Amino acid sequence: MTATAPMPASVKKPQNVQKEDAMWLQKELINSNYHDLATAHQNGRKVSATFVPGNLNELLMCFDFARSLPETNALQNGMRKKSGKMIMDAERDGQSEDVCTYVKADLGMMMGGEIGPTGEVLPRPDLLLLSYTGCFTFMKWFELIRHKYGCETVMLHVPYQGEGRIAPNMRDYVVRQLKETVIPTLERISGVKFDIDRLRQYMRESQKAEDDLVAVLQSAKNRPSPIDGYFGAVYYIGPIFTAFRGMPEATEYYRVLRREIEQRVREGKGPVTPEGEMGEEKYRLVVEGPPNWTSFREFWKMFYDEGAVVVSSTYAKVGGLYDFGFRHDADRPLESLAEYCLGCYTNLNLPSRIDMICRYIDEYQADGLLINSIKSCNSFSAGQLLILREVEKRTGKPAAFIETDLVDPRYFSAANVKNRLESYFQMVKAKRVAAGAH
Amino acid sequence: MRCFIGIDLGSTTTKAVVIDENQNILGRGITNSRSNYDTAAAIAKQEALVNSRFHLFREALGSAGALDGALDAFLAQLERDFRSEQYLEQLGDLAATCQRSLATAKFGDATAAVGVALTEVFGRLAAEAPQLFAPGAKRKSDFFRDIAGSQYLATGEAVAKEAGIRYDFLLNVFDRSIIEVENRVYGDSIRRHLLAALERTFVALPDTAARRQQVEAPIKGILDMDMEETYVVGTGYGRARLPFSKEHIRSEILCHGLGAHMMHPGTATVLDIGGQDTKAIQVDPHGIVESFQMNDRCAAGCGRYLGYIADEMNMGLHELGPMAMKSTKTIRINSTCTVFAGAELRDRLSLGDRREDIMAGLHRAIILRAMSILARSGGIRNEFTFTGGVAKNEAAVKALKDLVRENYGDLKLNINPDSIYTGALGGATFAWRAVVEEGKVAEARQ
C-alpha cells in the first residue's frame, strides 16, 4: 500500500450505515470531545493526555482538564482509514516495524500537524498523566511525547496483579501516590484547588453509568443476544472508558442505551449490525484480544454474515471489570480510584484471565473462544496460546486463533482471516452435529 | 446410483472425488485450476465421474468373468483409447479456434500463409496423437493445455521454418485460442468417446474382440446407468464459486481433517503443506476438527518456498528432494523467509558448501516451520498424517520423521499416495454425511 493510495471505505462513507440510536449518540459524544480538545486552549483550559486502562477521568475533571486519550485517537484514526499513512510516517522517522502501531499512529499524527480524527487540530498536552496499568509500552510512549513536546509528566505506578488479587498494601501504595504526587501536580498545572466533594459527585455519576453498562453487557446472556459483546460493545464502552465517565452526559447515554437494549430483549431481537438487524443467531462466541480497527466493518461482517455473535469479550473490560462487581465509590473516592486502576483487564495475570474467559463461556453459554492476536501488542498477546489451551481443556469448547493488528492496515489479510473464521464456525457446527450423531 | 462428490478448488489444481452409498471411493479427477474455477470444478468433477465409470467397468467385467486374466490390460487400453479420443476432439476444436483467431489477427499479407501453416501443424499433431497414448508412453502432464501446448510449440517451430513464416504468428494464434478451448467442458461427448474407444480397443486387442458380446454388455450397462450427483460439497480457495448454496461449502481445514480420517482412521493430527499455506489440524475419532493453526501474515515455510528455491537453483521442483537425500553433512539454514533463504543459499554456495547439503538444510528449515505451527495447534498425537504436495518430497518427509522422533518419540506417520485428494475426499464424505446422516437435499446458490 502506498501512502497516497485512496482508501476505498472512506470513499463510500455516505452509504446507509445502520446504528442503534445509542450508537449515534455515542458518536456525537466522541466527536464533541474532539471539539472540546480543539478549543481547549482558546477557552483557557489545560489539556491532559492519559491512557484508557485505569484512567483517572473523574480526578482530571476536578481540575477542569480537557482529556485526550491517545489510544482512542489512534483507533479513531484507524477506523477512519487514516492510520496507515501515520504509521508509515512514524517509521520513516525511525520507529521500528515492530513498535506498537497505536504509538506509531500517534507519532505520525503529530508529524502531520496533530490533525485529529475529526479533522480538528488537537492541542499539545499540558500534562501527560501516565497511569501505568500492565502495558509497559505506555511508559515509552509518553517518554517519546515528552521528548517531543517537553511537557510535564506525572506517573502513577500501579502494581501488577501477579498473585491474581489486590492486596491492601497495593491499594495503599496507589492512594499514597495519588495524594503525594498526582493530585499536587494536577493542582499546580491547572491552578485549580482539589475538591474531594467534586470528585465524589463525579463518582456518583460514574456509578450510575457503570450499573447501566453492566446491564447492557450482560444482556448478551439472553438468546438471542440483543447485542454483540465485542463489535457492538466497543461503541458502548467508548464514553465510559474515555473522557466521559463521571459526566451527566455519559450517565444519560447509558440510561438510553440500557432502555434500548432492554426493549430489544423484550422483542426477542438480535444485535444491530452496520447492515441492519442480524439474522439468525447460529454461534455464540467469547473473544479475547482487541479488534482490528482498520478493517473493523469488514471484520465484523465476517461474523454476522455467518450468524456469529460475540456474547462476551475481554476487550470490553479493558477499562474496568465492572461486571465482577467493581464500582466507583463516592464514599471511598481515592481508594476506589486505586482499585479501579488495579483491576483493569491489562493488569490481570494469566490465570485470572483464563478464569474470566472460562466464566464467560459458562455464564453466556458460548460455543467457544476466539483469540484475535494483535501483532504489535505484546501486553495482550503474551501467553495467549496458553490461555487458548487451558480454556479448551477446562471448558471442552473449541477455540481458534487469528492474527491481525490494531491500526496497521498492512496486517489485516482479509482472505486468510475469513478462511480461518469460516473454518472455526464450521468446526463448531460439525462438533454439534457429531455430538448429535454419535 | 447415488453419488456423493467432493471438489477441492486449489490454487494450482482442482481435485474431485466421488464416493458411493457405502462411502467407497468410486473415482478421482484432477485438472489445472486455470484461473477459472467454474470450468476447473466442472472438469475435475467430470474426470472423477469418468474415473468412477472405469471403476464400475472393472467391477462389472470382473464379476461377469468376461476377461479373465486380460482385464487389466483391457481397461488400460480402453482408458488410453478414451484419452486419445478426447484429445483428438479437443485438438480439432483447437484447430478450428486457431483459424477463427487468425481471421481477427492483423498479420497482413502473411495471413494466408499462416492459415496454411496452421493446417499443416494440426495435421501433424493429429498424426502424432496415437503415439502420445501408446502403451508405455510417458506424458509430462495429463492436462490438455500442457500436452497440446508442448506439441504445438515443437511442431510449430519446424513448420514455420519450412514455410518461411514468422514463428511468433503461430504462437500468437495459439495463445489467443487455448484458453477458449481449455475452458470448454466436453460433458456431452463422454459416452460417444467411450463407445468409440471401445471399438479401438477391440481392434488393438483382437483376442478381446472375440468376446465382444460378453464384454460390451456390462460396459454398456454401466454407461446406461445414471450416476446421480446426489450432493456435492466444495472446498478450497475457490469454493465460493460453486453453483450451490452455502450449505454445500466447507472450509478446507475441515475437509482435510475428515479426508485424512477417511484415509487413515487412526489419525489424530494432520499436517498439510500445500502451495500457499501450511495447516496443522487436530481431529477427533470421527474426523471432526478439534483445533487448527495455520501460517499467518506470511507464507514462509509453505510449498511455494521449495518452488522458489527450485527456481533459484534452476532446477525442477521434483529434483530438490532426491538431491537433498544425497546430503552427508548437516547445514543449518536459519531463515524461514523464502526470499532470505534464497540469499542464504547463495551465500552458502559461495562458501563452497555442497548443493546436496544445502538442500537438506532447506528441507529441514521448512519442516521446522511446520513443527512450530504443529506445536501451536497442540502438538503431534498418534497417528500423524502428512498431506499436501510437500508430502511427496522424500527429503521433507525424512526431515519430518527425524524432528518428530526427536520431539515426540515414535509415532505412526501416515503418508497416502493419494494425499492430493485428501480435501476432496473429506468434501465427498461431508456430502455423504449431509444426505445419509442429516437428511439434507441439494440446494442451488441463491
Annotate B349-364 with DSSP letters as a single string. HHTT--HHHHHHHHHH
Question: Does B4 score more than 70 pLDDT?
Answer: yes
More confident residue, B20 or A320: B20
**What pLDDT, on the 0 to 100 scale, is given for residue B67?**
80
Query: A406 in contact with B at a CB cutoff of 8 Å?
Result: no
Give the one of B293, B297, B438 whose C-beta lies nearest to A375's C-beta: B297
**What pLDDT, on the 0 to 100 scale, is given for residue A8?**
36
Substitution target in B251, B283, B284 with the highest count of A β-carbons within 10 Å is B251
Copy the grid coordinates of residue B121.
Answer: 501443424
Give the one of A403, A427, A430 whose C-beta lies nearest to B296's C-beta: A403
How many other β-carbons are positioned within 10 Å of the β-carbon of residue B298? 11
Question: Does B35 score more than 80 pLDDT?
Answer: no
More confident residue, A20 or B166: B166
Copy the grid coordinates of residue A136.
Answer: 509497559
Confidence tier at A3 by pLDDT (50, 70, 90):
very low
Amino acid at A269: K
Task: Please indicate whether, in this complex, the C-beta atoms of B253 and A423 are within 8 angstroms of each other.
Answer: yes
Query: Closest residue of B to A371, CA-based?
Result: B293
A35-43 contacts at long range (C-beta below 8 A, 24 or more positions apart): A35/A118, A35/A120, A36/A66, A36/A243, A37/A66, A37/A67, A37/A68, A37/A116, A37/A120, A37/A122, A37/A123, A38/A116, A38/A120, A38/A121, A38/A122, A38/A123, A40/A66, A40/A123, A41/A123
Whole-structure pTM value: 0.82
Query: Closest residue of A to B292, CA-based?
Result: A400
Question: Does A19 score more than 80 pLDDT?
Answer: no
Give the gap in angstroms from C-alpha A411 to the nearest C-alpha of chain B. 7
Cis peptide before A184 (omega within 30 of 0): no
Question: Does A382 score more than 90 pLDDT?
Answer: no
For range B382-399, the mean pLDDT: 92
Weakest mean pLDDT among A233-237, B151-155, B207-211, B224-228? B207-211
Residues of B with CB under 8 A from a CB of A: 237, 250-254, 277, 284, 286, 288-294, 296-297, 376, 378, 433, 437-438
Residues of B in contact with A430 (CB under 8 A): 254, 288-289
For B265-415, give the CATH class.
Answer: alpha beta
**What pLDDT, on the 0 to 100 scale, is given for residue B297?**
59
Residues in contact with A42: Cβ distance below 8 Å, sequence separation at least 6, in sequence order: none
Substitution target in B290, B297, B374 with the highest count of A β-carbons within 10 Å is B297
For range B278-283, the mean pLDDT: 94
Question: Does A86 score more than 60 pLDDT?
Answer: yes
Task: Please indicate whether, in this complex, the C-beta atoms of B251 and A426 are within 8 angstroms of each other.
Answer: yes
Question: Does A434 score more than 80 pLDDT?
Answer: no
For range A41-48, the mean pLDDT: 96
For range B376-396, the mean pLDDT: 92
- Domain definitions of chain A by residue range: 17-437
Query: A416 in contact with B at a CB cutoff of 8 Å?
Result: yes
For range A239-248, the mean pLDDT: 93
Percent of chain B with pLDDT over 70: 98
CA distance B101 to B174: 8
Residues of B in contact with A423 (CB under 8 A): 251-254, 289, 292
Task: Please indicate whether, in this complex, the C-beta atoms of A400 and B291 are within 8 angstroms of each other.
Answer: yes
Give the gap in angstroms from C-alpha B172 to the nearest C-alpha of chain A. 35
Q: How many CB pairs under 8 A join A and B?
A: 57
Query: A411 in contact with B at a CB cutoff of 8 Å?
Result: yes
Give the gap in angstroms from C-alpha B253 to the nearest C-alpha of chain A. 6
Question: Does A160 score more than 90 pLDDT?
Answer: yes
Copy the grid coordinates of residue A121.
Answer: 487540530
Residues of A in contact with B251 (CB under 8 A): 419, 422-423, 426
CA distance A177 to A172: 9
Confidence tier at A7 by pLDDT (50, 70, 90):
very low
How many other β-carbons are positioned within 10 Å of the β-carbon of residue A168? 8
Give the one of B250, B286, B296 whose C-beta lies nearest to A434's C-beta: B286
**What pLDDT, on the 0 to 100 scale, is given for residue A15?**
53
**What pLDDT, on the 0 to 100 scale, is given for residue B445?**
66
Q: For A20, how many CA atoms within 13 A lie in the half-sphere containing its CB?
A: 29
Q: What is the CA radius of gyration of chain A?
A: 21
Residues of A in contact with B297 (CB under 8 A): 375, 403, 411, 413, 416
Burial class (CB in 10 A: 0-12, 13-18, 19+), B248: buried
Residue A116 has φ and ψ, to the nearest 5°, of -75, 180
**What pLDDT, on the 0 to 100 scale, is given for residue A5?**
36
Query: A414 in contact with B at a CB cutoff of 8 Å?
Result: no
Query: Closest residue of A to B293, CA-based?
Result: A401
For chain B, the average pLDDT equals 89
A216-225, A239-248, B131-140, range with greatest mean pLDDT: A216-225
Cis peptide before B383 (omega within 30 of 0): yes
Amino acid at B131: Q
Weakest mean pLDDT among B32-46, B235-249, B309-323? B235-249
**What pLDDT, on the 0 to 100 scale, is given for residue B296?**
64
For range A392-415, the mean pLDDT: 92
More confident residue, B47 or B67: B47
For range B417-442, the mean pLDDT: 92
- Domain definitions of chain B by residue range: 82-182, 265-415
**What pLDDT, on the 0 to 100 scale, is given for residue A299?**
96
Residue pLDDT, tens place only, B88-117: 999 999 999 999 999 998 888 899 999 999
For range A138-148, the mean pLDDT: 93
Query: A327 in contact with B at a CB cutoff of 8 Å?
Result: no
**What pLDDT, on the 0 to 100 scale, is given for residue B130?**
87
Question: Does B64 score more than 90 pLDDT?
Answer: no
Weakest mean pLDDT among A358-367, B208-217, B335-344? B335-344
